[in-house]
A = this chain, B = another copy of it.
Amino acid sequence: MNPIKIIIAGPRGRMGREAVKLVSNTTHFELVAVVDHKYDSMMLSDLEGFQTIHHVPIYNDIEKCLQTIKADVLIDLTTPEVGMFHARTALHYHVRPVVGTTGFSKEDLAELEEICQKKELGCIIAPNFAIGAVLMMKFSQMAAKYFPDVEIIEMHHDGKLDAPSGTAVKTAEMISESRIKKQQGHPNEKETMNGARGANFDGMHIHSVRLPGLVAHQQVLFGSDGQTLTLRHDSYNRGSFMSGVKVAVETVMKHNHFVYGLENILE
């Protein structure tokens, strides 16, 4: 079996560096080029931190890159605006995009879906590549069908500004789609201190813990007569995203359609 030939856009970002490492260390993957707005015509091994990654040319211009280098997949870890342009261009050159940025508009997604359909090509856009987090959300949605009583506790380092976290809100939204709507807790419950019962999202409660030392953690607790079910994800570092990128690259090669969200390719 030939290795999957991969171009990475945004190799010097925090995610990009992990992706370069992943592709280099995976036997059936091959890094054939990178796209970067700087360092055109240099080799990746000329840059600090990449000295051991040989024979990988750098391109400023994605079109030139795709015209010159034969590839199967583009991993894009840039920005939403650039990501859209890169995905569209890659599909034009019959290269399947795996894009890890958020912020696509509905129109963007619809346009990409249409191109994929015409070209019969796979394309995966995933705002969250941490498989563990995506499974936690997916399982929460499944469990909520049987256990409508649920609370979410998310825990992050105390440098985080917003509460609740984006993942907690996304989890609550996914649960809302599957559970019978209900207002939880005792109808006459009362807070003797404001905020004790957390935030109320569609009748379920969300609690945000902030402490130094913590990284990024979330538990979803389901309760029912005589039992509780707890789903918990702990993320310790950025490496957690890479198993998701790997699955996405492998999956996009078998697809001839568009997918939004890693949860839709995990079975």
Instruction: Please report A residues at the B interface, Cβ cutoff 8 Å.
Output: 130-133, 135-136, 139, 142-143, 145-147, 149-151, 153, 155, 158-164, 169, 184-186, 188-201, 205-215, 221-243, 247, 266-267
Min CB distance A164 to B, Å, is 5
Q: Which of B149, B192, B215 contacts A164 (CB 8 A)?
A: B192
- Are the C-beta atoms of B227 and A240 separated by less than 8 Å? yes
Q: Report the Cα distance A160→B184, complex, angstroms.
A: 12
Q: Which of B135, B189, B193 contacts A160 (CB 8 A)?
A: B189
B-side contacts of A225, CB under 8 Å: 212-213, 239-240, 242-243
Interface pairs (24), CB distance under 8 Å: A131-B147, A132-B224, A132-B227, A132-B228, A135-B229, A147-B243, A149-B212, A153-B207, A158-B184, A158-B223, A162-B190, A163-B190, A189-B210, A193-B201, A195-B195, A195-B197, A212-B223, A214-B223, A214-B228, A225-B242, A227-B234, A228-B234, A230-B233, A230-B234
Contacts of A243 in B (CB 8 A): 146-147, 224-225, 227
Q: Is the CB of A193 within 8 A of B164?
A: yes
A242 smallest CB distance to B (angstroms): 6
Give A33 to B147 CA distance when docked, in angstroms: 29
Across-interface contacts of A133 in B (CB, < 8 A)? 227
CB-CB under 8 A from A196, the residues of chain B are: 163-164, 195, 198-199, 206-208
- B192 and A195 contact, CB distance less than 8 A: no
Please measure, in the bound complex, the distance between the C-alpha atom of A149 and the C-alpha atom of B131, giving whole angstroms: 14
In the assembled complex, the Cα of A189 lies from the Cα of B206 at a distance in Å of 16
Q: Which residues of B contact A159 (CB under 8 A)?
A: 186
Report the separation of the CA atoms of residues A10 and B130 in the bound assembly, to the nearest whole angstrom.
38
